[in-house]
Amino acid sequence: MQLTGSQIVIECLKEQGVDTVFGYPGGAILNIYDELYRHQDEIRHVLTSHEQGASHAADGYARSTGKVGVCMATSGPGATNLVTGIATAYMDSVPIVAITCNVGISLLGKDSFQEIDIAGVTTPITKYSFIVKDVKDLAPTLRRAFEIAKTGRPGPVLVDIVKNATSDVAEYEKEIPKLIPRMTEKIDETAIDEAIKILRKSEKPMVLVGGGAVIADADKELADFVKKVDAPVTDTLMGKGAFDGNDEYYVGMLGMHGTKTANLSVSECDALVVVGSRFSDRVAADTKSFAKNAKIIQIDIDEAEINKNVEVDLSIIGDIKSVLDIFNSRLEQLYHKEWLNKVLARKDALPLNYHHDVLTGPYVVEKLYEVTKGDAIIATEVGQHQMWAAQYYKYKKPHTLITSGGLGTMGYGLGAAIGAKAGNPDKTVVNIAGDGCFRMNMNEIATAVRENIPVIEIIFNNSVLGMVRQWQTLFYGERYSHTVLDNNVDYVKLAEAMGAKGYRITKQEEVEPVLKEAIASGKPVVIECIIQSDDKVFPMVAPGKGLDEVFDEKDLEK
């Protein structure tokens, strides 16, 4: 049948099972929005307050559902406002398709009003960037975009469409999307046999879980593997939920703000199985001394990650779920009682700790875990609050922590929470923010209210840029250059002005009742928690130091 380009865009979205898109209209993309109006009973459009909010919402939707997230923007500044969100998704391997429209082909390359080469701009931060100049290429390109976003290591794809291609007519025939097979053809079963030999000889094995295990939905296979190897488990920020945070084998997060138990044990272990982690600097710290006593076995879907940051002894390329399946079918039950007992005793002796006599971020996160029974989806911004959310909320399942790990994007969490709630309407969705991050994209509270998306925003208000101030305190001689935010903003009134419910908490006993009331309200809620300016995240590994040099507040006092 003959359809306009705009009709083809909508039909292709329907082919892919897209039920929600996030975006902001403008002149160049108006034809698509006009067509979207006619299909609003099939595809929900969430109008964000800013295009960056749309890209973060598509990201949060994708991370929490496992589907491809979709965002839209017009040409020029509309398109460039998506860039930070696209880069965030790229760094964390999140499948999104960003659809932008450009000026008509006769105006292309002439510095026309609101013209930008967005495909060129985003080439380094996408798996692929397309520009569609002919309506005949539109359907194949969109189908290819979704396929690329989902295949292998997922990631963002941009499709830029010149305006005349949205109004021109072409033949369209519906296609059923191809099933994306798990990447198994590269799995070297000889390498798996070699890895099993290493594990059989090992007396002190450990398992490090990264974001790849979450993406692969390999939680069941991972749990079976851990029990077979009989090894303690640590994870990265991005790996949260792939292994149950309540499991007795779990010893906490690894890295700059990882637990002492995890950091010291990885430094001591003699075999380390790394499941879907790229050894970022915040995880591995000093890469030369990382797991210096261990044979390192790296399992990853992306061959480019092998030996990129840390030299490993053995690598296995392929879908993590499939690789672990093979391990579990071949590996007999191993026993490491003495090592396991040592690590778990260390875990008991070196717990996470904070000041219990005042209102703190960790106290609020622990209460949030109790009230939600660990069943909420937690989004975060970036900074101290992000680390407290990672340390003190126990993630039981994949896709329940939505956070910017690779790019560290302040202003990410609120948009991402809106996307996660849109994709999971029956789940409690909470975004944990600092006052600095909240000010970045707080206008998306208006989006939550207008679109009736009941997210809960918790702001830890310490009147400073907390994580930067922590570094200034520890490493910059307490020179607090431009990190003080003491500007008397009333966040409760701000929330109410945008139509949300606002609360202010100053005492521990207020936390639980406010959280319960917020969850029961079914409305967008902002909860401001007043905490001290010099609260810090511990433990910590100083930049450039090894994991075995981890320290906490008591060590500083000594």
Q: Are 460 and 370 in contact (CB under 8 A)?
A: no
Residues facing 314 on adjacent strands? 297
Quick count: other Cβ atoms within 10 Å of Cβ 489?
16
Q: Are 398 and 241 in contact (CB under 8 A)?
A: yes
∠ CA 53-512-61 to the nearest 5 degrees? 25
Q: Please say if 467 is a catalytic residue.
A: yes
Q: Please say if 114 is a catalytic residue.
A: yes
**Residue-by-residue DSSP string for 331-368:** PPP---HHHHHHHHHHHHHS-----TTS--HHHHHHHH
Among 7, 16, 35, 51, the active-site one is 51
Among 238, 387, 442, 467, the active-site one is 467
The Cβ-side half-sphere exposure at 313, using a 13 Å CA radius, reads 20
Among 15, 114, 136, 394, the active-site one is 114
End-to-end CA distance of the chain: 77
**Residue-by-residue DSSP string for 405-462:** -SS--TT-HHHHHHHHHHH-TTS-EEEEEEHHHHHHHTTHHHHHHHTT---EEEEEE-
Q: How far apart are CA 52 and CA 33, in angstroms?
A: 18
Which is it for the CA torsion 145, 17, 91, 407, positive or negative?
positive
Phi/psi region, residue 17 (left: phi>0; alpha: psi -120 to 50; beta: rest), is left
Among 127, 150, 163, 501, the active-site one is 163
DSSP state of 536: -
For residue 433, the one-letter residue type is A
Active site residues: 51, 113-114, 163, 467
